[in-house]
Structure 1
Amino acid sequence: MRHFNGVLAALALSGHALAQDLGIKAPPQDKIVFIFNAEIHPVAGEVIENGYITFEDGRITDVGRGGGPSFAPGTELELIDAGGKRVYPGLIGANTLTGLVEVNSVRATQDYSETGDIAPEVRAAVAVNPDSTIIPVTRKNGILTVGVLPMGGLIPGRASVIRMDGWTWEDLAVKDAAGLMVNWPSLRTISARWMTRSDSDQLEQARTRLRAIDDAFDAAAAYVAAREADPTLAEDLRWEAVRPVLAGEVPVFIRATEMEQIQSAVSWAVRRKLKAVIVGGHDAHLCAELLKKHDIGVIVTGTHRMPKRADSPYDEPFVLPRILEEQGVRWCLATGGGSFDAAHERNLPYHAATAVAFGLSEEAAIRAITLSAAELLGVGDRLGSLEVGKAATLIITDGSPLEVHTRVERAFIDGREISLENKQTALERKYREKYRQIRPAPAGNGSEQ
């Protein structure tokens, strides 16, 4: 048995070791980059035909139309003729487990859920694996920034915003504590065959979980008040993590999909005077006036999912983005964000494309996965659009990112050109070569049939 357990441990570790990206991270930008003859899509403004963009030390210094600025003699430049291709801000996945899970069947590669229900001190970025093979595959499709939102329990920790290239988690972190995650209990009873608890038991469990969330925030508020009255009191890392939320410096990200959940969560946040962002929001259109009244944004978790109820319209998830846009709700679009979605985060632009096919404008769809996502994650001042002073995190493409056949040809994160090589491109080369080698010889060469 001891030998068998040792073999299992070795297999788990070997699987973890094999799931490591071997690519070299990009060095800091060391010269001015000038991209010209491009179709610039700033997102925050009109499309610029025959445009240019320059960036230095990781920041955009100029965006415009025509020939561009003049540079002093001797200036070290990298000139990039885009040849009429498009330049977009890097896409942003607002709801992911990137770097927290690699292989769902290998427990050693899962690090997205802490033990216990209340763990506000946890920061998702600290657990991110910078060498995850999922990162370069996702990056290949233009997604250069993601929000990493921990799961599990009631308060699973703090969300982080990371860039998709770096040697360490510190290199990756754009904002390591972007807000506090809260998983709101479902307030609906389940009457399925597999449910063994009565309706009253289910409702009592929901009330117990709601009290636990309230008790945690009460304890945090009491701790903050006590520390302000007496700074010599011992520091408690759990409640220190909640302090910026109570002060309104960062939001509380509340996972809630059903109408009753959203209404309850919003009422709770308003009562406690907290900034809130709803994550999920499948019934957000039913709460539009409430969300607008309190200026609460929604991270819609995907269009590639089934309708919620048997009697729902088949296109319910496809039209939700258009409806929210028409209602004037602040929103962005993300993927489902679960552990099985991590490896498919690269499909984010196609979630937006589905919304376009069902009535959303392409401009709104692009904004939903760039600037709107950055704003709801609290990094809209530095990411999400091509504006002077913002991070030079952008992509050059041969078409709209929403089209499956579009290729991301070059990518920059904070001015650093990022390799678009990954496990999948290596496999493509490998098997193209395989079939080149085994291609049947021309007839009549004397070989045996």
Structure 2
Amino acid sequence: MKYLITACLILFTAAAARANPEVPAPAQAGPIALIGGTIHPVEGAVIEGGTILIEDGKITALGKDVKLPPKTEKVDCKGQHIYPALFDAYTDLGLVEINSVRATADFREVGNMNPNVRALAAVNPDSEVIPVTRSNGVLLALTAPRGILVAGRAAVIQLDGWTPEQMSLKDGAGLMIHWPQPASNPPPADPLDDPVASVPRDDGVQTMRKAFQDARQYGAARKADPDYPVDARWESLQDVLAGTVPVMIHAESLEQIQGAVAFGDEFKLKVVIVGGYDAPRCADLLKPRNIPVIVTSIYRLPRRRSDDYDAPYTLCERLRAAGIKFCISSFGRFGATGTRNLPYHAATAAAYGLSSDEALKAITLYPAQICGVADRVGSLKVGKDATLFIASGDPLETPTQITAGYIQGRKLAWNDRHKRLFEKYQEKYKQLEREEKK
């Protein structure tokens, strides 16, 4: 009997982790022109009936009167809208397949101090979640490790490719740290708001402080003596201490954010706050230091009973009014499988005070700026990557259908598990209808 159970578990895990059948797109073979669509550059005015010329994966011309080179493939986009790729700035996409199946989750390493861990190394290019996500216009994501205290390095990925390396847009985009919650604070309504509740605050902070001090001393020793033994953990912190790689600190409460900012000041770090529920209350700390906030999930509960019911929904507008740079992520209870709902998080923020233009920027341009890849993605501009999608309307509205997508000029396979299931059961009803007519 035990062998039967083991066999069933193996079969179930294999089925859950099977590869998706969508074939990654080949490199762009020749010039492509998207003609006649309404272009939404994000940086700049909307262009009605415009043309985008794509060559070698880059946007080389954009406007109403674009001269096309010979043998250009022309794509009719009349009646359609063209947007830059949506960008989710905090996910575990590619690291988790099914949240409830531990064998399909690879987002956390053992131990509290893992600065040398790279999320990109664990990304599964064959995840079924990836085609589903990009079908809603989300073609870029920051995939980040989760763990206790120092979790590892996040990576910006493009949602197409045979290998993690082909998907990579920027490896080591930030070092993920989860800041401990003060014991005096009441537990949050959503446990995901506090991933390190099991670690006493003082112990956790002291552990991180000692690690960074050791890494600084290690760097000085290596500089003085190149033959000094290499330590992978401390070596990986050198560019962080130099300020060239940001530290993305998950901090929600006022006390957490204050502690994170003080820690950044102590070690002269480039800090990004992830979560940021109480960030508007810390505007006097964040704004002078130009510390941005990655807002994790608009769809969550207020942290305190005394908070307004719509506090999570108005958070983005309150950050904007305070002059704090921010962007929106979909991260929440559903993890990677909820990434496809990113545009609706932005839409809810727009419904609660944020302008629609700012809401769109919060899931395109602003995450690109915060993650350090705005020179390549985030808007439609000559010289940037041709990473974009074509839609029937505004992507923040649920009736809108995304009809095609391109990553660096490569046209994506526009199919996924959801579409296949839809087609399967459409056929079921067609067969039933035919049988009833007999």
Is TM (by shorter chain) over 0.5? yes
Look up the match of 2:38: 39
Q: Distance in 2 between matches of 1:157 and 1:342?
A: 18
Look up the match of 1:92: 87
The answer (yes or no) to whether the contact 1:248–1:275 under 8 Å persists in 2 is yes
Look up the match of 1:330: 325
Q: CA deviation at 1:9?
A: 4.7
The residue correspondences of 1:14-413 to structure 2 (distance < 5 A) are 14-18=14-18, 20-64=19-63, 66-71=64-69, 75-189=70-184, 205-337=200-332, 340-413=334-407
Larger Rg, first or second structure (1 or 2) = 1
Decide whether aligned partners of structure 1 residues 204 and 163 sit closer, same or farther in structure 2, where only a CA change above 3 A counts: closer
Decide whether aligned partners of structure 1 residues 258 and 437 sit closer, same or farther in structure 2, where only a CA change above 3 A counts: same
The answer (yes or no) to whether the contact 2:125–2:163 under 8 Å persists in 1 is yes
Counting aligned pairs with the same residue, the percent is 45
* AA at the equivalent of 1:247: A
Q: Distance in 1 between matches of 2:8 and 2:220?
A: 50
Look up the match of 1:425: 419
Q: Deviations over 1:312-368 (max 9, x none)?
A: 111111111111111110000111256x32111100000000011111111000000
Q: CA deviation at 1:30?
A: 0.9
Q: Distance in 1 between matches of 2:278 and 2:373?
A: 26
Q: Distance in 2 between matches of 1:299 and 1:370?
A: 13
Q: CA deviation at 1:190?
A: 5.2
Q: Distance in 2 between matches of 1:21 and 1:357?
A: 35
SS at match of 1:137: helix
The answer (yes or no) to whether the contact 2:90–2:141 under 8 Å persists in 1 is yes
Q: Distance in 1 between matches of 2:105 and 2:335?
A: 13
- Decide which moves more: 400-409 or 266-275: 266-275
Q: TM-score, normalised by structure 1?
A: 0.92
Q: Distance in 2 between matches of 1:50 and 1:400?
A: 16
Q: Distance in 2 between matches of 1:406 and 1:87?
A: 12
* AA at the equivalent of 2:257: I
SS at match of 1:156: strand
- Decide which moves more: 229-238 or 392-401: 229-238
Q: Distance in 2 between matches of 1:355 and 1:121?
A: 35
Q: Distance in 2 between matches of 1:47 and 1:267?
A: 42
Look up the match of 1:198: none
Look up the match of 1:7: 7
* AA at the equivalent of 1:87: I
Decide whether aligned partners of structure 1 residues 283 and 191 sit closer, same or farther in structure 2, where only a CA change above 3 A counts: closer
The residue correspondences of 1:435-446 to structure 2 (distance < 5 A) are 435-439=429-433
Q: Distance in 2 between matches of 1:93 and 1:236?
A: 33
Decide whether aligned partners of structure 1 residues 218 and 337 sit closer, same or farther in structure 2, where only a CA change above 3 A counts: farther
* AA at the equivalent of 1:54: L
Q: Distance in 2 between matches of 1:83 and 1:44?
A: 22
Q: CA deviation at 1:5?
A: 6.3
The answer (yes or no) to whether the contact 2:153–2:175 under 8 Å persists in 1 is yes
SS at match of 1:300: strand
Q: Distance in 2 between matches of 1:98 and 1:48?
A: 33
* AA at the equivalent of 1:357: A
* AA at the equivalent of 2:242: A
SS at match of 1:265: helix
The answer (yes or no) to whether the contact 1:302–1:335 under 8 Å persists in 2 is yes
SS at match of 1:60: strand
Q: CA deviation at 1:377?
A: 1.1
The answer (yes or no) to whether the contact 1:95–1:337 under 8 Å persists in 2 is no
SS at match of 1:410: strand
SS at match of 2:171: strand
The answer (yes or no) to whether the contact 1:15–1:106 under 8 Å persists in 2 is no
SS at match of 2:324: coil
How many residues were matched structurally? 429
Q: CA deviation at 1:188?
A: 4.2
Q: Deviations over 1:268-326 (max 9, x none)?
A: 10221110100000111111121101000000011111111112111111111111111
SS at match of 1:219: helix
* AA at the equivalent of 1:69: K
Q: Distance in 2 between matches of 1:165 and 1:203?
A: 37
* AA at the equivalent of 1:35: L
